[in-house]
Amino acid sequence: MKERRASVMHYQSSGMDKEAIRAALYQHLTYSISKYPMTATDRDWFMSAALAVRDRLVERWMESMQSYYRTDAKRIYYLSLEFLVGRTFSNAMLNLDIYEECKAALFEAGQNIERIAEVEFDAALGNGGLGRLAACFLDSMATLNLPCYGYGIRYEYGMFRQRIEDGCQMEHPDNWLRYGNPWEFSRPEVLYPVQFHGKVLAYQHHDGTTHHHWVDTDTVMAMAYDTPVPGYGGHTVNNMRLWSAKSSRDFDLRYFNQGNYIQAVANKNESENLSKVLYPDDSTEMGRELRLKQQYFFVGASLQDILFRYEKHHGTWDELPDKVAIQLNDTHPAIAVAEMMRLLVDIHHQRWNYAWDLTTRVFSYTNHTLMPEALETWPVSLFENILPRHLEIIYQINHQFLQDVMHRFPGDAELLRRMSIIDESSGRRIRMAHLAIIGSHTVNGVAKLHTELMKSTIFADFERYSPGKIINMTNGVTPRRWLNQANPGLAGLIGSRIGHGWVSDLDQLAQLRKFAEDAAFREEFAAIKRANKIRLADMIHHSLKVQVNPDSLFDIQIKRIHEYKRQLLNMLHVITLYNRIRMGTHPDIVPRTVIIAGKAAPGYAMAKLIIRLINNVADIINHDPQVGDRLKLVFIPNYDVSNAERIVPAADLSEQISTAGTEASGTGNMKLALNGALTIGTLDGANIEIMEEVGRDNIFIFGLTADEVDNLHRQGYNPWDYYHGNAELKLTLDMIASGYFSPDEPQRYQAIVDALLQRGDHYLLLADYASYVACQEKVDALYRDPAQWTRQAILNVAGMGKFSSDRTIREYAEQIWHVKPVTNS
């Protein structure tokens, strides 16, 4: 009888058919949620369904973890301050191939799966491309059966929830954990101390070596929360481990008994601030201190966990590089280089040179920016206060490194200054990118152009010092999330012609090229695009009360708001179109709906001003009866993964218009092209490689090249020449400056115009304006021919095989990590 009961319980928890899922659904509704079906809310049904799906993940998760221990596999540890995973419910069902079974089980319970899925909050663990890339990579590593842990922070409130009030971005807490997170498992037993402040004591050991003790520190405890990450097919389920800050002293009874209730919990509150919010505003000293503490907090906990796991199964440290590969996703976790040295030397008492050899064979570093001002640096004084032992270690790393540089390039003091980890030119700052490069065996860029520019500009000295250390790994996106899940209509159409193998082998999309000439296929493709546009138009009308025409060209720019991404150039074009309509100079203009979404960093005043300008321009255009449906401008607030999944499938035109040489790669360009949008862009980032794959005739390229940008800056760029030389541009800027779009405050946007005309137009908007406007006219001309537009859209989808994150991760595994797949036996 007991055996029969155990068998039934196993069937209910892990069966993949509709009946087993339905039984699990009701079981969780009763025993986990404690509700009757007649009183259950949508959230109750969601939690029950999520737990039923989670049950099916857990068994495979445990099998995957056990297989890694059983085979003593080398593991990848992906350290990232962001993991923008979005919603998990639909993704997990699709990757386990139980979506239809879950849909049927919920339907029999009287529930609609689409409505239930909308209950889930996006996991607010990231901001933009960096975090979304990390999430795609976790998906691909699991799909490719690669043993991997993702390490990050369990932010209680994420970045922020963006609302638009009077045209302005307003930041509100994103309380995504308000109703709990059904996907995570708290691990109160996995707890590590992380130290700050204090002082360092040095003493001589009996063997003559100098040892260091970091004492009198403030300690915060890092507690683990684990989330299963399923690969496509469900064969491998990896782990994302996020750290939450806990106080080492939760409650001070002495203060409480004195009536000082605030002080009684002050230590707890201060400690737990470390995992409250992603990217605190670092325009203040307190904000900068909190951000550095966040970075060390998650790095310190992660490395302790990694070494603990290694040490459990290995008697010496000799095999560490053969069992551990740590990838630094940008400079945020770069302090890991110094922390690994501290753990090996101070805690495990290994000799410096031996520890350094291990460290440099374990780490690799991904760079995500070419802009010197975006390369993270920290004041030495801040390190002295917060991480005094790490400062000593960095000094020693730097000393030994510069000694070697000096011996190899004698007499070049300027080279030593440029390559030093310590920047002496601006108040003594620690260059975290230099620390990451020196402490890693391999450094990679994320697109061909980006990597070449890394080697020829910002890191040219390091390329000269270690030729071949910097390599390229062009980014990719997961087709599971960004086509199979986000665009089921198109995914189904593709599957009906070439099968569904493309979901895990995106190169198979090349088979679609022949269908670009098939009129029936083009008609189906266009109908799916229109249905997606209607869905987005309905959402815009419902949430923003703006009526847009689904037959207009949907012109999309969705990304973080930043001057180099040039949302402002888009606005100059929109205002130009507005003027043309009002003046009647272009009576045959193609109706266009321009949709922009993205968040600005809370302390980035210019980016927030650009958001306000977009909304003010939209208010004028959308209410001008002379314009009507010929032009609409929409700013969709609170851009996140779920909003992206609604916007991307509806896009006709993808705006990738950064100044050439500034965008490392971009992944929005890949998602949009994968869903049949044509790209208008500069020869920047991965746009170049997209052009190579889809064909020069199937993409709209404009503007200066990276070399031309460099030459123009060298020769002396005068934006006034372009202002006076182009009447449409002059009118557009004059309208912004005069208060046409802000009559209640005419000077509101003077700072924007001054940045373009008085302060040098750093990102060359005016230099690229005429080329951009002319290229947009080519867009209009093609859109007037629906059959040809659809043909080129199909060719874009067919050319996107290279841009799967599976390909990217396979290259990382083979060329950087040297990690092999492990399958469950």
Q: Which of 293, 390, 450, 565 is catalytic?
A: 565
368 carries an active-site annotation: yes
Q: Which of 276, 592, 671, 802 is catalytic?
A: 671
* Joined tokens for residue 778: 């080519």
Alpha-carbon distance 701 to 681, whole Å? 5
Question: Taking a C-beta distance cutoff of 8 angstroms, is the pair 465, 405 a contact?
Answer: yes
778 carries an active-site annotation: no
455 carries an active-site annotation: no
The radius of gyration computed from the CA coordinates of the chain, to the nearest angstrom, equals 28
Burial class (CB within 10 angstroms; exposed 0-12, middle 13-18, buried 19+) of 373: exposed
Determine the 3-state secondary structure of 78 from DSSP. strand
Alpha-carbon distance 584 to 740, whole Å? 19
Please report the beta strands in 642-709, taking only residues with DSSP state E, as ranges in sequence order.
653-656, 678-681, 700-701
The angle at the Cα of 378, spanning 376 to 384, to the nearest 5 degrees, equals: 155
Q: Which of 75, 389, 533, 559 is catalytic?
A: 559
Determine the 3-state secondary structure of 784 from DSSP. coil
Question: Taking a C-beta distance cutoff of 8 angstroms, is the pair 304, 79 a contact?
Answer: no
560 carries an active-site annotation: yes
Please list, in sequence order, all residues whose beta carbon lies within 8 angstroms of the beta carbon of residue 208, skipping any fewer than 6 positions away: none
Give the count of beta carbons closer than 10 Å to the beta carbon of residue 782: 17
Please list, in sequence order, all residues whose beta carbon lies within 8 angstroms of the beta carbon of residue 685, skipping any fewer than 6 positions away: 447, 449, 450, 656, 658, 663, 664, 665, 666, 669
Buried b (16+ CB within 10 A) or exposed e, 16-37: eebebbbbbbebbbeeebebee
132 carries an active-site annotation: no
Alpha-carbon distance 397 to 129, whole Å? 32
DSSP 331-363: STTTTHHHHHHHIIIIIS---HHHHHHHHHHHE
What is each CA distance from 38 to 41, 47, 105, 327, in whole angstroms?
9, 16, 16, 49
* Residue 3 host element (H or E): helix 2-14
Helix axes 727-738, 750-757, angle to 10 degrees: 140
Q: Which of 293, 529, 560, 608 is catalytic?
A: 560
565 carries an active-site annotation: yes
Q: Which of 236, 359, 442, 667 is catalytic?
A: 667
DSSP 212-244: EEEES-EEEEEEEEEEEEEPTTSS-EEEEEEEE
CA-closest candidate to residue 490, choices 539, 548, 518, 530? 530
Question: Taking a C-beta distance cutoff of 8 angstroms, is the pair 819, 813 a contact?
Answer: yes
Alpha-carbon distance 736 to 728, whole Å? 13
What is each CA distance from 813 to 1, 148, 326, 362, 366, in whole angstroms?
49, 11, 12, 13, 14
* Joined tokens for residue 439: 């402490």
Question: Taking a C-beta distance cutoff of 8 angstroms, is the pair 453, 425 a contact?
Answer: no
The angle at the Cα of 129, spanning 124 to 133, to the nearest 5 degrees, equals: 90
Q: Which of 332, 368, 480, 802 is catalytic?
A: 368
CA-closest candidate to residue 561, choices 286, 159, 284, 134? 159
Residue with tokens 């006034």: 720
* Joined tokens for residue 422: 């310590």
Alpha-carbon distance 136 to 804, whole Å? 9
* Joined tokens for residue 90: 């639909």
Buried b (16+ CB within 10 A) or exposed e, 359-370: bbebbbbbbbbb
Please list, in sequence order, all residues whose beta carbon lies within 8 angstroms of the beta carbon of residue 105, skipping any fewer than 6 positions away: 18, 21, 22, 25, 49
Alpha-carbon distance 685 to 446, whole Å? 8
* Joined tokens for residue 64: 């995957």
Alpha-carbon distance 709 to 705, whole Å? 6
As annotated, the active-site residues are 368, 559-560, 565, 667, 671
